[in-house]
Amino acid sequence: MSVFGLLSGLLDPLRRALLSGGDDDPQPGAELAAGQHVWCLAASEDGRLYAGLPDGRISVWRCDSTTNSATFLGEVQAHGGTVYAMHARGVKLASAGADAVVQSWADMGSVESAGSGLPTRVAASNPVGCGLPILALVSAPTGELFSGGADGCVLRSA
3-state secondary structure of 90: coil
In this predicted structure, the answer to whether residue 80 has a pLDDT above a threshold of 90 is yes
Per-residue model confidence as pLDDT tens digits over 121-150: 666 676 655 678 999 999 998 888 999 988
Q: What is the pTM of this model?
A: 0.74
Q: Rounded to whole angstroms, how far apart are CA atoms 53 and 30?
A: 20
Per-residue model confidence as pLDDT tens digits over 7-52: 333 333 444 433 333 444 444 555 777 778 899 999 988 888 999 9
3-state secondary structure of 113: helix
Lowest mean pLDDT among 86-100, 110-124, 136-150: 110-124
pLDDT at 28: 55
CATH class given for the domain over 2-156: mainly beta
pLDDT at 11: 30
